[in-house]
């Protein structure tokens, strides 16, 4: 990696985004002929230069098996919560209560946090309200919450979604980080339950 | 009727039904956050069903690809919108405490206020 100079690395880092834009272009035109691809690449690169988009150091990996599990979970939850909300729409909606819970995140990657907070807005009755970047705490509004007993369930759902995102897209370092924090949290919970 | 006709005949009305319940929910739920839950999720499902229904009317997969693009953009933009509205509504004090079982964000903000020693300056301040 040291052999490649800085400018080359920067271009290489931007390449995936330009390729993505090229794919979008080809899809919008509805054909994938070489002419369209070249034009799309030119327009994508031009947009990138004109907009002066910063280069994000994207260190992600893609694990298909976990990604499929994540997609199935999100689609299923989306459907389930839609049906649930439809039910409450007709059954005394003013009686439905929610809760805002604080869930400490176990990942410290900006990109993964953004994905988790976005993904949470899609799954069963949860919606991100605030993300405390320094503390690594996410505040999620959940609905419906019938009482205190439902709060741990919401917390568990959030943690499960976070785990799926980390395992589907996190780099090896992210996953190691995640597991280390998980162990630390587990130990802390076991050591001092009365603290919280 | 062919199989694709049946698929469309089931998927389109089902999608329309979800969109309808989402809209009714938006009117009937009393709080802003409840309304957002009621509208965002059924609407996304509705859009997916309608797109799938429409895709069955198209001659081949290539012409249906732009429909998939619509779904992708819905999934990318919807959470951003929901999160922005959720945060703003909270900051503006539009989250009604009586509809919440617990509010740990309020607890955290109070703690932060107490630590900073002065009120009315934090970025996450609630009116």
pLDDT tens per residue across span B46-79: 999 999 998 888 887 777 888 888 888 888 888 7
Number of domains in chain B: 1
Assess if residue B127 is contained within a domain.
Answer: no
For the segment A150-169, what is each residue's pLDDT rounded down to a tens digit?
788 888 888 888 888 888 88
Beta-carbon count within 10 A of A122 CB: 22
- Residue B68's SS3 state is helix
Residue A57 pLDDT: 63
A-proximal residues of B, 39-98, CB under 8 Å: 40-42, 44-45, 62-63, 65-66, 68-69, 75-76, 78-80, 82-83, 86-87, 90, 95
Provide the mean pLDDT of chain B.
78
Stretches in chain A below the pLDDT threshold 50? 1-3, 196
Residue B12 pLDDT: 92
Is A79 in the B-facing interface, judged by CB distances under 8 Å? Answer: yes
Q: What is the mean pLDDT of residues B75-98?
A: 77
Q: Do A28 and B86 touch (CB under 8 A)?
A: no
Q: What is this structure's pTM?
A: 0.76
Q: What is the mean pLDDT of residues B1-18?
A: 88
Of A27, A88, A119, the CB nearest to B65: A27
A112: left (phi over 0), alpha (psi -120 to 50) or beta: alpha
pLDDT band at B120 (very low <50, low <70, confident <90, very high): very low
Is A100 in the B-facing interface, judged by CB distances under 8 Å? Answer: yes
pLDDT band at B35 (very low <50, low <70, confident <90, very high): confident
Could you state, in order of their start, the residue ranges of all structural domains in chain A?
A: 6-51, 64-195
Residue B124 pLDDT: 47
Of B24, B33, B65, the CB nearest to A141: B33
Q: How far apart are CA B49 and CA B43, in angstroms?
A: 10
Q: Do B102 and A93 touch (CB under 8 A)?
A: no
Structural domain containing residue B91? 3-116
Assess if residue B89 is contained within a domain.
Answer: yes
Question: Which tokens hold the place of A121?
Answer: 């807005």
DSSP assignment of chain A, as one string? -TTS-HHHHHHHHHHHHHHHHHHHHHHHHT---HHHHHHHHHHHHHHHHHHTPPPP-------HHHHHHHHHHHHHHHHHHHHHHHHHHHS-GGG--EEEEEEE-S---HHHHHHHHHHHTTSTTEEEEEEETTTTEEEEEES---SGGGHHHHHHHHHHHHHHHHHHH--HHHHHHHHHHHHHHHHHHHH-GGG-
Is B1 in the A-facing interface, judged by CB distances under 8 Å? Answer: no
% of chain B exceeding 70 in pLDDT: 85
Residue A131 pLDDT: 78
Regarding an ipTM greater than 0.90, the answer is: no
Residue A2 pLDDT: 47
Q: Do A85 and B75 touch (CB under 8 A)?
A: no
Assess if residue B44 is contained within a domain.
Answer: yes
Residue B3 pLDDT: 83
Assess if residue B67 is contained within a domain.
Answer: yes
């Amino acid at each position: 990696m040291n052999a490649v100079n800085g400018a080359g690395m920067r271009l290489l880092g931007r390449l995936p985004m330009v390729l993505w834009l090229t794919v979008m272009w080809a899809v919008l035109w509805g054909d994938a002929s070489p002419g369209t691809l070249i034009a799309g690449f030119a327009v994508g690169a031009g947009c990138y230069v004109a907009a002066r988009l910063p280069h994000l150091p994207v260190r992600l990996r893609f694990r298909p098996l976990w990604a499929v599990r994540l997609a199935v979970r999100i689609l299923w939850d989306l459907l389930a919560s839609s049906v649930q909300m439809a039910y409450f729409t007709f059954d005394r909606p003013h009686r439905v209560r929610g809760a805002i819970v604080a869930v400490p995140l176990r990942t410290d990657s900006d990109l993964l946090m953004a994905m988790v907070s976005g993904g949470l807005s899609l799954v069963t009755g949860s919606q991100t309200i605030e993300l405390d970047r320094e503390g690594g705490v996410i505040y999620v509004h959940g609905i419906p919450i019938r009482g205190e007993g439902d709060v741990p369930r919401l917390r568990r759902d959030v943690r499960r979604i976070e785990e799926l995102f980390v395992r589907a897209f996190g780099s090896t370092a992210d996953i190691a980080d995640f597991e280390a924090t998980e162990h630390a949290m587990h130990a802390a919970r076991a050591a001092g339950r009365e603290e919280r | 009727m062919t199989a694709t006709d049946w698929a469309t005949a089931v998927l389109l009305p089902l999608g329309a039904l979800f969109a309808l319940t989402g809209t009714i929910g938006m009117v009937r739920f009393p709080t802003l956050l409840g309304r957002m839950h009621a509208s965002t999720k059924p609407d996304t499902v509705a859009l997916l069903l309608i797109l799938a229904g429409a895709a069955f009317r198209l001659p081949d997969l290539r012409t249906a690809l732009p429909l998939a693009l619509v779904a992708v953009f819905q999934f990318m933009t919807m959470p951003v919108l929901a999160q922005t509205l959720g945060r703003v509504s909270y900051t503006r004090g539009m989250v009604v405490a009586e509809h919440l079982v617990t509010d740990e964000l309020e607890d955290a903000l109070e703690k932060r206020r107490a630590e900073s020693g002065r009120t009315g300056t934090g970025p996450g301040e609630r009116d």
